[in-house]
């Protein structure tokens, strides 16, 4: 490689890689934030007695990472030859279940008792595809193990759930995300302030992938990663801004509350759903009377439903602020 070819990575401080892949744990022991899940998975690996598994939980909590770590520990350097990953949201048809999965399950392999098929976003499969999957799981149970990943286990038919050991991945704790962010900052020689770390943890909302992406994006904005850089790059409103908007509405100052909302939507680029999510996450942390918080959550539920049904986001949020402003204490 010539010096010219080598310059871009050096100039970027080695930051041309995608950090969510660079820092994806290879082993179960390195998976953070799931102290109740990792020991059970390690036991399956140690005894080489792997059942069908179902990983259910929000995005960015380590489901895919855990599945790959299981495969790496079972198969070592041969893990990619014995691990088939499919994304059901891209390939939803029943043909995927009948063709690709069966082809992989039937193909010959040596040295191992079984192979692993990892089906990501399995809750996106149609009912017919899930029924076909159930039959395939039965047919190839002697040499194939399935790991299903989904956001909502309720969307998986009962016959499949009953065949799997179910692991529920919760949103990662603030401590787990902070530890990972600080570890990456040290490895990448990034100067990140304490308030910058707090901002990343807040913006991530339990999603490790979002935290790492936010850190990488903020790291190229300047020499220091602080809360200003994080909130700007992640299009996240500061908690105090959201709280001020609610307090203005409850105090009857609808004009000021509407102006704050306009700033968040127009100047900061937040979507209506983002505002609702932040209000919901922070509602009980606001310095508000309990009755006011209950009213806020009631209005949030109504607005979220209406927006989900196709109503205009801006109009519904303004209507929520107006209703709060008109409420009698």
Whole-prediction pTM: 0.80
- C-alpha pair distances (Å), 215 with each of 60, 177, 236: 15, 11, 13
- Distance, in Å, from the CA atom of 31 to the CA atom of 38, rounded to the nearest integer, reads 7
Judged by DSSP in three states, 127 sits in helix
Determine contact, residues 51/161, Cβ cutoff 8 Å.
no
Cα 19 to chain centroid, rounded: 15
Instruction: Look at the block and give the residue holding tokens 């209406």.
Output: 306
Closest CA to 95 of 64, 54, 52, 126: 126
Alpha-helix residue ranges (DSSP H) falling in the chain: 3-11, 19-22, 38-47, 63-75, 94-95, 102-106, 127-139, 158-161, 174-187, 194-204, 208-219, 227-233, 239-250, 254-262, 272-282, 290-308, 313-326
pLDDT at residue 6, as a whole number = 41
Ranges of residues in the chain with a pLDDT under 70 are 1-16, 89-98, 108-110, 328-329
Cα 224 to chain centroid, rounded: 26
Domains of the chain: 34-168 (3.40.50.300), 174-233 (1.10.8.60), 239-326 (1.20.272.10)
pLDDT at residue 109, as a whole number = 63
pLDDT at residue 198, as a whole number = 92
Q: Which long-range CB contacts under 8 A does 20-28 form with residues at least 24 apart?
A: 20/209, 20/212, 20/213, 23/180, 23/183, 23/184, 23/187, 23/212, 24/65, 24/68, 25/65, 25/69, 26/68, 26/69, 26/72, 27/69, 27/72, 27/73, 28/66, 28/69, 28/70, 28/73
pLDDT digits (tens, 9 = 90+) for 85-95: 888 766 555 66
The two tokens of residue 251 are 């105090």
pLDDT at residue 51, as a whole number = 92
pLDDT at residue 93, as a whole number = 59
Determine contact, residues 103/86, Cβ cutoff 8 Å.
no
The two tokens of residue 123 are 């809750």
pLDDT at residue 5, as a whole number = 45
pLDDT at residue 328, as a whole number = 54
């Amino acid at each position: 490689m010539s010096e010219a070819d080598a310059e871009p990575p050096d100039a970027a401080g080695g930051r041309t890689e995608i950090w969510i892949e660079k820092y994806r744990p290879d082993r179960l022991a390195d998976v953070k934030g799931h102290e109740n899940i990792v020991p059970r998975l390690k036991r399956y690996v140690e005894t080489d007695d792997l059942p069908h598994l179902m990983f259910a939980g929000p995005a960015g909590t380590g489901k895919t990472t855990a599945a790959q770590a299981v495969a790496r520990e079972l198969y070592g350097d041969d893990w990619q030859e014995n691990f088939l990953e499919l994304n059901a949201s891209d390939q939803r048809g029943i043909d995927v279940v009948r063709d690709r999965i069966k082809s992989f399950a039937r193909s010959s392999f040596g040295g191992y008792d079984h192979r692993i098929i990892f089906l990501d976003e399995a809750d996106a499969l149609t009912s017919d595809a899930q029924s076909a999957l159930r039959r395939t799981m039965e047919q190839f149970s002697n040499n194939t193990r399935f790991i299903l990943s989904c956001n909502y286990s309720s969307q998986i038919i009962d016959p499949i759930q009953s065949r799997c050991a179910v692991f529920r991945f919760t949103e990662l704790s603030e401590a787990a995300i902070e530890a990972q962010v600080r570890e990456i900052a040290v490895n990448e020689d990034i100067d990140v302030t304490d308030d910058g770390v707090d901002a990343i943890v807040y913006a991530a909302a339990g999603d490790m992938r979002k935290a790492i992406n936010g850190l990488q994006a903020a790291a190229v904005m300047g020499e220091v990663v602080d809360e200003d850089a994080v909130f700007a790059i992640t299009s996240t409103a500061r908690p105090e801004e959201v709280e001020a908007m609610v307090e203005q509405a409850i105090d009857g100052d609808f004009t000021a509350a509407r102006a704050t909302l306009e700033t968040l939507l127009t100047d900061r680029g937040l979507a209506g759903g983002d505002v609702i999510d932040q209000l919901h996450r922070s509602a009980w942390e606001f310095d508000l009377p309990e009755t006011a918080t209950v009213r806020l959550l009631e209005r949030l539920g109504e607005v979220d439903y209406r927006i989900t049904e196709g109503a205009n986001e801006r109009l519904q949020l303004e209507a929520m602020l107006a209703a709060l402003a008109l409420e009698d204490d």
